[in-house]
C-alpha cells in the first residue's frame, strides 16, 4: 500500500525532506500508526515526530486526528500548529 | 466568493468594490492583517490552504447571511507593515458582515495551513502557535456570541 507523505515548516526542516512516497507495512492503518512507523527511522525522525511534540496532521488535505484511517493512495501531511493570518 | 493564496500584494479598495455590486448588499466588513515588527517568510500547504479556507467560508455562510466574500492570504517573503491577509464580507446588514468577517479570521488562524518564519534580532525562528488564537476560534463553538441580525 503506497501513500504520499508531506512535511511542512519546522518538521520539514528537521527531517530535511518535504515529500516522499512510502510503502506502508501491514498493520499500519492510522495517522498515529504512520507516525510511530516513521519514528522507527530514528535520529531526526524519532525527535521531530516524538509523542510529546505537538503536531497537526492532514489526510487528503483535511485536518485529521491521530485515529484517522489511512488507505492506499492517500496524501498524509505532518506539520506544526498553524500560524497564519 | 473568491479565495486567493498569492505572493502579490492586494488593494483593499478594489477588493471591497468587487463584492459590492449587488443592490441588496448594505454592508461590507473587511479586515486586513499586517506584518508586525519583523520581516518574515510565510510557508503554506498548496491545495490544502485553499480547501481549508473554502470550508471556513462555507461554515460562515451557513451561520450568517454572506452575499459575497473575498479571502486573500499572501505567502513568501514579507516585511514589516506589509499586508498579509484580507477578509471582506458583503451582507445585507452590518451585524452579519462583522460577525462572519471575524469568524473567518479566527478560524483561518487555527485551521489554514500557514507557517510564519520570523527574522528576529536574535536570529531566524518559526513563530509558535498561540493558545489565545485557539481560544478566539473556540468561542464561536460556545454560542457565547449573539448571532447578529
| A82 in B contact zone (CB under 8 Å) | yes
Q: What is the per-residue pLDDT across A45-62, written as a single tens digit (0 to 9) for each?
A: 999 999 989 999 999 999
> Are A76 and A59 within 8 A, CB to CB?
yes
**Dihedral in degrees, nearest 10, Cα atoms B46, B128, A50, A55:** -40
Q: What is the pLDDT of residues B13-27, one digit of tens each?
A: 999 999 999 999 999
pLDDT at B130: 87
Q: 0.90 exceeded by the pTM?
A: yes
Model confidence pLDDT, tens digit, residues B59-78: 999 999 999 999 999 999 99
Q: Chain B 83-142, CB below 8 Å of chain A: which residues?
A: 84-85, 105, 108-117, 126-130, 133
Mean pLDDT for chain B overall: 94
A77 touches chain B (CB under 8 A): yes
Residue-wise pLDDT tens digits, B29-48: 999 999 999 999 999 999 99
A1 inside 8 A of chain B by CB: no
d(CA B79, CA B81): 6
* pLDDT band per the 50, 70, 90 thresholds, residue A76: very high
A55 close contact with B: CB closer than 8 A: no
Q: Determine what percent of chain B is predicted with pLDDT higher than 70.
A: 95
Residues A80, B73: C-beta atoms closer than 8 Å: no
Please, which residues bridge with residue B42 across strands? B76, B116
CB contact under 8 A, A77 and B45: yes
Specify the residue for cell string 490544502: B48
Across the range B92-120, mean pLDDT stands at 97
Taking one residue from A and the other from B, the number of pairs with CB-CB distance under 8 angstroms is 75
Amino acid at each position: 500500500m503506497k501513500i504520499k507523505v508531506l512535511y511542512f515548516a519546522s518538521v520539514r526542516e528537521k527531517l530535511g525532506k518535504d515529500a516522499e512516497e512510502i510503502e506502508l507495512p501491514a498493520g499500519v492503518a492510522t495517522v498515529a500508526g504512520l507516525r510511530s512507523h516513521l519514528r522507527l527511522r530514528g535520529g531526526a525522525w524519532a525527535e521531530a515526530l516524538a509523542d510529546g511534540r505537538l503536531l497537526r496532521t492532514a489526510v487528503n488535505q483535511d485536518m485529521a486526528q491521530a485515529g484517522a484511517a489511512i488507505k492506499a493512495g492517500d496524501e498524509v501531511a505532518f506539520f506544526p500548529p498553524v500560524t497564519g493570518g | 466568493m473568491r479565495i486567493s493564496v498569492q505572493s502579490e500584494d492586494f488593494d483593499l479598495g478594489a477588493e471591497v468594490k468587487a463584492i459590492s455590486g449587488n443592490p441588496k448588499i448594505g454592508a461590507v466588513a473587511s479586515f486586513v492583517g499586517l506584518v508586525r515588527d519583523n520581516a518574515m517568510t510565510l510557508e503554506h500547504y498548496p491545495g490544502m490552504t485553499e480547501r481549508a479556507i473554502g470550508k471556513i467560508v462555507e461554515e460562515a455562510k451557513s451561520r450568517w447571511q454572506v452575499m459575497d466574500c473575498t479571502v486573500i492570504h499572501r505567502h513568501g517573503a514579507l516585511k514589516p507593515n506589509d499586508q498579509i491577509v484580507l477578509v471582506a464580507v458583503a451582507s445585507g446588514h452590518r451585524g452579519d458582515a462583522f460577525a462572519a468577517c471575524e469568524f473567518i479570521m479566527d478560524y483561518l488562524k487555527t485551521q489554514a495551513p500557514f507557517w510564519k518564519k520570523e527574522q528576529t534580532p536574535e536570529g531566524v525562528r518559526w513563530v509558535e502557535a498561540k493558545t489565545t488564537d485557539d481560544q478566539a476560534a473556540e468561542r464561536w463553538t460556545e454560542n457565547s456570541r449573539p448571532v447578529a441580525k
